[in-house]
């Protein structure tokens, strides 16, 4: 937990930005896995963590912009709770640690909400919170999204987007734990091992360092599948493995790092050429980070480097600008260059990407690749984001485009046949935008081809 002053200042900032009305910040409850008392790993809502700091189920909070009042609603522990989960600080004590001096029982909350002339709430993403909110407000579940407060969303995004120095300390900690997860994976990856053996070691490392996974690990020889959560393959010499895994540290900040490892330890020439191309995309994109530059432009710059490289390799032919405009790059990099990161691995995505990564006048593209770009707007000092270019050979997509005759004047489909078992390569780091450039967070994680081979 940060100091009470940090949370008090954040709430004061929020009150000032929203101006009037009652702000409701809903906490998360336990989520049942297969029956009520057998639950998934608990994760508090990130807005609740940001403004109220307490990672505990069963809490909701209000901030009254008009009276200045702040109340956390939740039950004090009963003897039954103490018997089953052990003694805990009282809710009043926890609230005091985050600078809140009033707590109430949950039954008092609905009447406060009903009597509010203006109620601000964010879009609930958990079904139990949707039902609860619907009951308290009388708004049908299906209408909650359109009744959310855009003023509150914009205010939160306007605060959480700028990471403070004490948050950066936490984010570097998350990346440093993530680094150890990756070092373990580099060292364990070898012919004959099961992917899940390495995934379990990655997870163990996060736990061992006081954290956990920030998102389900992606560790796969079939890296051409972007979010591949199947870990049952046996590693084979000659193949590449994508390791996209990150830690959530004790303070719930996320790391999100990707490295690509040759199972045989050495890259083949073909793999190394492609690897160095992705590395060039990544390092060039990082070098371009600075305030006022549109991240969309950096995404397109990375795409351009990729198209030039693939053209040199004989997989493409023709004018690069034309290919870039038409979206030929979507075949090889069908995802965005990166996203904001913070308490959430895709930071504030619950609030809507159009508020986080876009702005009025900057609309989301429908083109393959660009349509998955979660951060497109101008960068500002204090933003922390991922830079994660990749090149993938997705046999099904190649076959589809070929059958449809897409871009046959640019794409050398016969050469691409040799890449259908190549898999994919992605390289990702987490970067802070500073007043005059950028800082890559955490201790350096090997990424030059020779460094990777040496591990």
- Per CB under 6 A, residues contacting ligand GLY are 215, 244, 256, 345
Nearer to ligand GLY among residue 119 and residue 373 (C-beta): 373
Nearer to ligand GLY, 27 or 223 (CB): 223
> CA-based diameter of the chain, in Å?
74
Among the candidate windows 65-73, 132-140, 174-182, 255-263, which touches Mn ion by CB under 5 A? 255-263
The DSSP H or E segment spanning 79 is helix 79-85
- Least distance (Å) from ligand GLY to the CB of residue 14? 27
Applying CB under 5 A, the site for Mn ion has a residue count of 2
Choose among ligand GLY, Mn ion, none what residue 46 binds, the Cβ cut-off being 5 to 8 Å by kind: none
Residue 31, classified by CB atoms within 10 Å of its CB into exposed (0-12), middle (13-18) or buried (19+), is middle
- The nearest distance, CB 244 to ligand GLY, in angstroms, is 5
Q: What distance in Å separates the CA atoms of residue 427 and residue 390, rounded to the nearest whole number? A: 7
Q: How far is the CB of 46 from ligand GLY (least distance, A)?
A: 16
Q: 269-287 and 295-312 are packed helices; what angle lies between their axes, rounded to 10 degrees? A: 150
Which CB, 70 or 244, lies closer to Mn ion?
A: 244
Asked whether position 228 contacts Mn ion by CB under 5 A, the answer is no
N residues, the chain: 455
**Which CB atom, from 144 or from 218, has the smaller least distance to ligand GLY?**
218
- Read off the tokens for 453: 């081979």
Among 161, 228, 271, 386, indicate the residue that binds Mn ion (CB under 5 A): 386
Measuring CA to CA, which residue among 284, 308, 316, 314 is closest to residue 297?
284
Residue 215 binding result from ligand GLY, Mn ion, none, given CB thresholds of 5 to 8 Å by partner type: ligand GLY
Which helix H or strand E contains 262, and what residues bound it?
A: strand 257-262
What is the C-alpha to C-alpha distance for residues 51 and 63, in angstroms, rounded to an integer? 10
Nearer to ligand GLY (CB atom), residue 74 or residue 442: 442
Measured from the CB of residue 256, what is the shortest distance to Mn ion in angstroms?
4
* Residue closer to ligand GLY (CB basis): 180 or 244: 244
**Which residue has tokens 């091992």?**
193
d(CA 302, CA 373): 13
The nearer residue to ligand GLY, 95 or 375, going by C-beta atoms, is: 375
Question: Which helix (H) or strand (E) segment is 392 a member of?
Answer: strand 390-392
Which residue, 22 or 441, has its beta carbon nearer to ligand GLY? 441
The label of the residue with tokens 């969303």 reads 153
- Write down the least CB distance from residue 330 to ligand GLY, Å: 17
| Span from 110-118, 140-148, 194-202, 383-391 in contact with Mn ion (CB under 5 A) | 383-391
Which partner from the list ligand GLY, Mn ion, none does 261 bind, CB cut-off 5 to 8 Å by kind? none
Closest chain position to ligand GLY (CB): 256
The yes or no reply on residue 256 touching Mn ion (CB under 5 A) is yes
The half-sphere exposure of 7 on its side-chain side, counting CA atoms within 13 A, is 22
* 350 three-class SS: helix
Reduced to 3 states (helix: H, G, I; strand: E, B; else coil), residue 28 is: coil
The least distance separating ligand GLY from the CB of residue 96, rounded to whole angstroms, comes to 36
Q: Work out whether the CA dihedral 440, 442, 444, 449 comes out positive or negative.
A: negative
- Residue 227 CB, shortest distance to ligand GLY, in Å, is 6
CB of 204 to ligand GLY, least distance (A): 19
Nearest partner of 210 among 250, 254, 166, judged by Cα: 250
Q: Which residues bind Mn ion (CB under 5 A)?
A: 256, 386
């Amino acid at each position: 937990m940060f100091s009470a002053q940090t949370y008090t200042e954040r709430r004061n900032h929020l009150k000032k930005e929203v101006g009037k009305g009652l702000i409701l910040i809903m906490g998360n409850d336990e989520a049942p896995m297969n029956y009520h008392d057998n639950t998934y790993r608990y994760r508090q809502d990130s807005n609740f963590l940001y403004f109220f700091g307490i990672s505990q189920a069963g809490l909701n909070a209000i901030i009254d912009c008009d009276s200045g009042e702040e109340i956390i609603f939740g039950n004090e522990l009963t003897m039954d709770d103490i018997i089953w989960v052990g003694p805990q600080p009282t809710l009043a004590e926890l609230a005091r640690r985050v600078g809140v001096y009033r707590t109430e029982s949950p039954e008092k909350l609905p009447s406060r909400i009903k009597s509010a002339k203006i109620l601000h709430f964010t879009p609930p993403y958990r079904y139990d919170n949707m039902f609860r909110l619907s009951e308290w407000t009388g708004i049908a579940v299906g209408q909650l999204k359109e009744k959310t407060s855009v003023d509150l969303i914009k205010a939160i995004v306007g605060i959480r987007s700028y990471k403070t120095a004490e948050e950066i300390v936490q984010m570097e900690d998350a990346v440093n734990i993530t680094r150890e997860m990756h070092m373990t994976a580099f060292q364990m990856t070898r012919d004959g091992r099961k992917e899940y053996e390495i995934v379990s070691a990655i997870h163990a490392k996060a736990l061992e360092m006081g954290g956990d996974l920030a998102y389900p690990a992606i560790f796969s020889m079939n890296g051409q599948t972007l979010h591949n959560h199947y870990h049952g393959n046996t590693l084979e010499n000659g193949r590449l493995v994508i390791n996209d895994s990150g830690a959530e540290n004790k303070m719930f900040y996320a790391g999100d790092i990707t490295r690509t490892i040759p199972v045989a330890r050495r890259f083949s020439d073909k793999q190394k050429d492609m690897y160095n191309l992705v590395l060039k995309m990544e390092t060039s994109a990082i070098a371009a980070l600075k305030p006022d530059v549109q991240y969309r432009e950096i995404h397109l710059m990375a795409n351009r480097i990729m198209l030039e490289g693939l053209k040199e390799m004989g997989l493409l032919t023709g004018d690069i600008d034309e290919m870039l405009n038409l979206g030929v790059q979507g075949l090889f990099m069908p995802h965005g260059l990166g996203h904001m990161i913070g308490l959430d691995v895709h930071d504030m995505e619950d609030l809507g990407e159009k508020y986080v990564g876009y702005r009025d006048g900057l609309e989301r593209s429908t083109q393959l690749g660009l349509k998955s770009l979660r951060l497109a707007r101008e960068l500002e000092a204090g933003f922390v984001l991922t830079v994660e270019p990749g090149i993938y050979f997705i046999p099904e997509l190649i076959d589809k485009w070929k059958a449809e005759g897409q871009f046959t004047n640019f794409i050398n489909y016969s050469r691409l046949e040799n890449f259908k078992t190549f898999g994919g390569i992605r390289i990702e780091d987490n970067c802070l935008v500073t007043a005059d450039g950028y800082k890559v967070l955490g201790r350096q994680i090997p990424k030059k081809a020779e460094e990777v081979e040496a591990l």
